[in-house]
Structure 1
Amino acid sequence: MSETPLRLLLFNLVTDADHLVLAFTTDWINALAPYCEYIDVVTMQVGRLAVADNVRVFSVGREQGYSEPRRALEFYRILRQLLAEREYDACFAHMMPLFAVMGAPLLRDIPITTWYTHRQRSTILRLATMASYRVISAVASSFPYDTEKLRALGHGIDPDFFVPPAQAHDKPPRVVQVARLTRIKNQHVLLNAAANLDCEIVLVGDTAEGYSTHYREELKALAAELGMTDRVVFTGRQTPEQVRDWYQQATVAINLSPPGLFDKAALEAMACGLPTIVSNDAFTDLTGPQRKLLHISTPDATEELRQHLMTILALTPLQRQQIGQQLRNGVVAHHSLQQLAKKVISVLRTGELPEDD
């Protein structure tokens, strides 16, 4: 902290402490704030602000229903105004390759670092990669292009928020999956795997806003077909506090995201001390000696998932608690919000991770 504080320009998708999916970005901004003289955030959409005193937030107006052309005009108006008022040492584009591309011509002397964690490719992302000094992601496999600019930083989970319960949940056995209701998250695989098991299934999440609810209805029909309607819970959209509560009230968590999606929901479950079955090899460093128990070979390996669930549910509460504590220790050590903030700041300053990483 003895280094000169950064003067940071930050591009963000949604800055809203109450957003059901992206509220965490407020935590990220606040974690970066102690390292900065000031942070100016240009965001696509704004809601309730709960940011540090040295942070200002400017929205291009999606929350007001502005059209895309008007939002583009607002972006350039805001950016030109900020560049006239202040100097910046770096620009951090968080899941906003569009703003990185749009801003690049005006930011020629300000290095852009773009965070992107998703396997989806696009022309905009490719252009953002070209325009950026560095691109950063949770793990190398969660960025869809091969580039020497890439640095893998891990995720940023708040271990003071996602904590184990005072008493581990045991009865009734409850399996929780936190994810949007979409086929890529494979909730149908979990239902098929658990059909003949003595446990409750809780699907935390809903379809993305503005998208078809067809898959959700498919899942409800599948639950009925399998005769498990009375033990499958569809929670709908949940606040971060409610999501944490579901983790704390569960026996085991499931994450069936495919390679390329290093899902922070799995890390949140682990931070809550919950044994978590995953299908992505990117979690290997965390599962360590429990890899054989916690990994299935592919996201659609139904029978494999059934066997793993049976094994974990047959463990004693103490055995599950010990596994969960090992997972939590790994998340705290390598994927905490504080660790991530230090890594992001280091890349913004030097282009590289801290030397101790």
Structure 2
Amino acid sequence: MRLLVITQKVDTKDSNLGFFTKWISEFSKQCEHVTVICLEKGSYDAPSNVKVFSLGKEAFKKKNEKGGFLRRVHYSLRFVKLILSERKQYDGVFVHMNTEYVLLGWFVWRILRKRVTLWYVHKQVNLKLRLAEKLVEKIFTASEESCRLDSTKIEIVGHGIPVERSHQPIHTEPLHLVTVGRISPVKDVRTLLVGFSHIQKSIPVAECTVIGEPITDKDRNYALELRKEFPRAHFVGRRLQDSIYADHPYTAFIHASQTGSIDKAVLEALFAGLPVFTSSEAFGTDIPGITKFEAGNPSDLAEKIERAFREGALVIGEVGRVYVEENHSLSKLIPRIVHTYGGH
């Protein structure tokens, strides 16, 4: 099986998209050859059977060039050129998240008789997704809530969480909360930090670390407001996933994302053994290690964390780790995707 993988960015050092390099490496174990086309390429030590092509965004960044329309034309022309020139190097196509690549490449792939699938994890159902659904063989997603398009082509396969890493034990004294992800209004970080402020009134030594960065201008303004409003919270910026839980004695993970999709940051926290407090509709109380609080209600969050802390319930959760291994491990996900094309 030879596979063409299309994604936004290939860079192990990227705190937001760096995880996908592990997907590529896993694909390389399951496929004879993997060709990757990405919008932007950074640091990545590719296996011998993987070839990575960039559409050139990193070059535009270095030159500090603008001109959005001309850039998009350049990307589109190079994309079509690559899927044609590399056509003998792949049997199937896996598009990660970006539906526009399905729309741009489908005609070529139809003529070449290449099987095309899409990975999509977002609650938004827009016109591009509806059109892409007509053109692909299958849409893989992490959960029922992660792709809300009504289609028989959707297959729920769980997230792809690497489960080979080992983690340090959790220390319950003092109370140290952590949240990981993009700093954005849709992640509702303010509710988490107001809840933390409530906790500090009764547990003054409590700490809270915010790991992540803003992406858009709106995000950056939001992050600036939060830093000013909550000076006792630790904003540490981005961290590579492998280093987040390596040496840090966090007590619990807090989460209030409003995206409606299963957030892999929550699954990674569960695998690290952390108890998770979340208001996201994507997570139910049937998942081991999950405690729900009312969305937008920092008092409810604070009350549930304080109660668990005083009762000694904030301990390492082996059941959460087992849940992630069984339902969301990368080593199980990739073979399942490859099997769709008639691979291993």
- What is aligned with 2:49? 54
> Quick check: 1:24 aligned with 2:31?
no
Shift of 1:286: 5.9
Matched residue SS, 2:86: helix
- Give me the whole-angstrom Cα distance separating, in 2, the residues matched to 1:260 and 1:130: 24
> Quick check: 1:164 aligned with 2:167?
yes
- Give me the whole-angstrom Cα distance separating, in 2, the residues matched to 1:40 and 1:180: 29
- Bigger relative contact order, structure 1 or 2 (CA pairs below 8 A, ≥6 apart): 2
- Give me the whole-angstrom Cα distance separating, in 2, the residues matched to 1:159 and 1:58: 28
Is the alpha carbon distance of 1:185 and 1:24 closer, same or farther for their aligned partners in structure 2, counting shifts above 3 Å? same
Deviations for 1:220-279, whole angstroms, at most 9, x for unmatched residues?
2322xxxxx2x3101112222342347x42100011122622100001111110001122
- What is aligned with 1:321? 315
- Give me the whole-angstrom Cα distance separating, in 1, the residues matched to 2:29 and 2:196: 46
- Give me the whole-angstrom Cα distance separating, in 2, the residues matched to 1:90 and 1:285: 38
> Quick check: 1:340 aligned with 2:340?
no
Amino acid at match of 2:42: G
User: Is the 8 Å Cα contact of residues 273 and 327 (structure 1) preserved in structure 2?
Assistant: yes
User: Is the 8 Å Cα contact of residues 285 and 292 (structure 2) preserved in structure 1?
Assistant: no
User: Is the 8 Å Cα contact of residues 160 and 331 (structure 2) preserved in structure 1?
Assistant: yes
- Give me the whole-angstrom Cα distance separating, in 2, the residues matched to 1:178 and 1:203: 6
User: Is the 8 Å Cα contact of residues 269 and 276 (structure 1) preserved in structure 2?
Assistant: yes
- Give me the whole-angstrom Cα distance separating, in 2, the residues matched to 1:212 and 1:195: 22
- Give me the whole-angstrom Cα distance separating, in 1, the residues matched to 2:13 and 2:264: 18
> Quick check: 1:103 aligned with 2:99?
no
Amino acid at match of 1:29: I
- Give me the whole-angstrom Cα distance separating, in 2, the residues matched to 1:284 and 1:50: 38
- What is aligned with 1:3? none
| Match among 293, 297, 304 for residue 296 of structure 1 | 293
- Give me the whole-angstrom Cα distance separating, in 2, the residues matched to 1:80 and 1:338: 30
* Counterpart mapping for 1:56-135 below 5 A: 56-65=51-60, 67-83=71-87, 86=88, 88-108=90-110, 109-135=113-139
User: Is the 8 Å Cα contact of residues 119 and 141 (structure 2) preserved in structure 1?
Assistant: yes
TM-score when scaled to structure 1? 0.86
TM-score when scaled to structure 2? 0.89
- Give me the whole-angstrom Cα distance separating, in 2, the residues matched to 1:126 and 1:12: 19
Q: Which 5+ residue runs of structure 1 have no aligned equivalent?
A: 1-5, 224-228
- Give me the whole-angstrom Cα distance separating, in 1, the residues matched to 2:59 and 2:130: 29
- Give me the whole-angstrom Cα distance separating, in 2, the residues matched to 1:220 and 1:277: 22
> Quick check: 1:187 aligned with 2:183?
no
> Quick check: 1:267 aligned with 2:267?
yes
Shift of 1:70: 0.8
- Give me the whole-angstrom Cα distance separating, in 2, the residues matched to 1:343 and 1:88: 18
- Give me the whole-angstrom Cα distance separating, in 1, the residues matched to 2:47 and 2:217: 32
- What is aligned with 1:216? 223
Shift of 1:190: 1.1
Q: Which 5+ residue runs of structure 2 have no aligned equivalent?
A: 66-70
> Quick check: 1:309 aligned with 2:305?
yes
> Quick check: 1:251 aligned with 2:247?
no
User: Is the 8 Å Cα contact of residues 161 and 268 (structure 2) preserved in structure 1?
Assistant: yes
- Give me the whole-angstrom Cα distance separating, in 2, the residues matched to 1:120 and 1:30: 29
Is the alpha carbon distance of 1:175 and 1:260 closer, same or farther for their aligned partners in structure 2, counting shifts above 3 Å? same
Deviations for 1:7-30, whole angstroms, at most 9, x for unmatched residues?
111111101122121111110011
Matched residue SS, 1:320: coil
Matched residue SS, 2:314: helix
- What is aligned with 1:239? 240
With 185-194 and 209-218 compared, the bigger mean Cα shift is at 209-218
- What is aligned with 1:37? 32
- Give me the whole-angstrom Cα distance separating, in 2, the residues matched to 1:54 and 1:185: 38
Amino acid at match of 2:157: L
Matched residue SS, 1:171: coil
Shift of 1:87: 5.1
User: Is the 8 Å Cα contact of residues 186 and 259 (structure 2) preserved in structure 1?
Assistant: no
Matched residue SS, 2:26: helix
Is the alpha carbon distance of 1:211 and 1:188 closer, same or farther for their aligned partners in structure 2, counting shifts above 3 Å? closer
Is the alpha carbon distance of 1:215 and 1:209 closer, same or farther for their aligned partners in structure 2, counting shifts above 3 Å? closer
User: Is the 8 Å Cα contact of residues 91 and 112 (structure 1) preserved in structure 2?
Assistant: yes
User: Is the 8 Å Cα contact of residues 260 and 281 (structure 2) preserved in structure 1?
Assistant: no
Matched residue SS, 2:342: helix
Shift of 1:212: 4.5
- Give me the whole-angstrom Cα distance separating, in 2, the residues matched to 1:58 and 1:345: 21
- What is aligned with 2:68? none
